Amino acid sequence: MGKVQLFEIYLSNSRVIYSPGEPLTGTVNLRLGAALTYRAIRVTCTGSCGVSSKANDTSWTVEEAYFNSTLSLADKGTLSPGEHVFPFQFLLPTTAPTSFEGPFGKIVHQLRAVIDTPRFSKDHKCSHIFYILSPLNLNSLPDIEQPNEATTTKKFSYKLVKSGSVILTASTDLRGYVVGQVIQLRADIENQSGKDTGPVVASLLQKVSYKAKRWIYDLRTIAEVEGSGVKAWKTAQWREQILVPALPQSVLPGCNLIHIDYFIQVSLKAPEATVNLPLFIGNIAVNCPPLSPALSLSGLPPPLVPTAPPEDLDMAAGGPSPMVSVSLPTKSHSQQQQPPARPFSYTPGLSFPETRPEAEPGPGDGSPAPSRPPLCLSTGATVPYFAEGPVVPMPTASDLILPPEYSTWGYPYEAPPSYEQSCSSASSGLSNGN
């Protein structure tokens, strides 16, 4: 072995996530097998963002620096063989942006240590990445408690000479959510034609914008659920739920090169009609869920809209009741059955306890089946919330039902129950209580 047997950076209490304005303390540990002459030992704390026009390319087209501080741990001298520990402390800037990593860019905060040796000798270097989370308080956003609703009308022709229209209205119970919270989605579809519509699809989309020489957009589908189509001359209501998985927050304050947006897209396949509902993903949940008009009036039948007599000959011949209201069933859900998730807020400085469900018996042989993936610490798209490597969990103030890990698999194993399933389970519970 050489002179330097160990040269590493350790953070106090094995912390990996910090808040802006917090002190960052640690040590540089050194183990030598022989005496080492040096000119200086330094540690540097940096934060920066790099963006490239090519995916997974570290040759940044545009860069942005946030802070760069250097401490001198030891001046010119000679270190004897054995263990040496050099403590250090930095104060993180209050404007430091949240860590993030994506295919076209990333925000990285790290420590670098170097042993500057005399001329013609090799310098020794090591580094350690840490993560910063600048919590997004959803309550600080304007109109966050207001109902989120959008409507579009699509006119179309069918059977060459006939025409009709479809009115698509989509709404969610809130405009902002935290990880683990359930999005309550409602869609009302009014089919004013003699032709059945195609399926209705709702998607939770993530749009990350990177400012290189030109803006680059990375659009991803996080979750998707599909409902049935609407029959001719009928009004249908569709209710569903989407679980918010582990995702970076919507806003990266302090960063001018990367911006993250989320929205719910509800669309009909035929005729093509789409509405978008912008959403915010934050760390501190909305204090009071709003009394949404869509939910408060959910038990009432939708009002009938006066319309002119239909020009459709099929409608006149068949004579069905105009604009009959029905409830749409769900055909498929990219997320499968999950226990109801309790909303929670991320507290800076706390790491998440891993939730390991008990193994379920395997099919047929009674052997335990593989456990569902726990909420693990990882990198990737979830850098602002999780970190890689062994981390000692710290207890939280209350029991949390956490979502599974999504960074290594396309979709979670199970999704929240559909609206029909929720109603049926509630009805059975009431009947059993009686």
Bridge-partner residues for 415, per DSSP? 337
- Do 154 and 53 lie in one domain? The reply is no
- For 148-171, how does the pLDDT look when each residue is reduced to its tens digit (9 = 90+)? 999 999 998 888 778 899 999 999
The token pair that represents 352 in the structure block: 């998440």
In a domain, 207, yes or no: yes
DSSP assignment of 253-274: TT-SSEEEEEEEEEEETTTTEE
Identity of the amino acid at 160: L
pLDDT of residue 373 exceeding 70? no
- Do 185 and 104 lie in one domain? The reply is no
- Do 204 and 123 lie in one domain? The reply is no
For the segment 312-324, the average pLDDT, to the nearest whole number, is: 47
Helix (H, G, I), strand (E, B) or coil at 62: strand
In a domain, 309, yes or no: no
Helix (H, G, I), strand (E, B) or coil at 59: coil
Our count of domains for the chain comes to 2
pLDDT of residue 111 exceeding 50? yes
Element counts in the chain: helices (H) and strands (E):
3, 20
Q: Which helix (H) or strand (E) holds 110?
A: strand 105-116
Of the three residues 74, 101, 132, the one that is the final residue of a domain is 132
Q: How many residues does the chain have?
A: 434
pLDDT band of residue 421 (cuts 50, 70, 90) is low
- Do 127 and 244 lie in one domain? The reply is no
CB of 253 closer than 8 Å to CB of 114: no
- Do 176 and 126 lie in one domain? The reply is no
The domain spanning residue 188 has which CATH number? 2.60.40.640
User: Which conformational region is residue 422 in: left (phi greater than 0), alpha (psi within -120 to 50 degrees), or beta?
Assistant: alpha
For the segment 119-126, the average pLDDT, to the nearest whole number, is: 89
Bridge-partner residues for 220, per DSSP? 206
In a domain, 170, yes or no: yes
Sign of CA dihedral 77, 79, 80, 86: positive
- Prediction pTM value: 0.69
In a domain, 338, yes or no: no
- Do 160 and 70 lie in one domain? The reply is no
- For 409-419, how does the pLDDT look when each residue is reduced to its tens digit (9 = 90+)? 333 334 455 55
d(CA 299, CA 289): 19
- For 256-299, how does the pLDDT look when each residue is reduced to its tens digit (9 = 90+)? 999 999 999 999 988 999 999 999 999 999 984 444 434 333 44
Domain of 202, in residue numbers = 146-282
pLDDT for 314 = 46
Sign of CA dihedral 62, 68, 72, 76: positive
Of the three residues 282, 299, 318, the one that is the final residue of a domain is 282
Of the three residues 250, 267, 282, the one that is the final residue of a domain is 282
- Do 163 and 60 lie in one domain? The reply is no
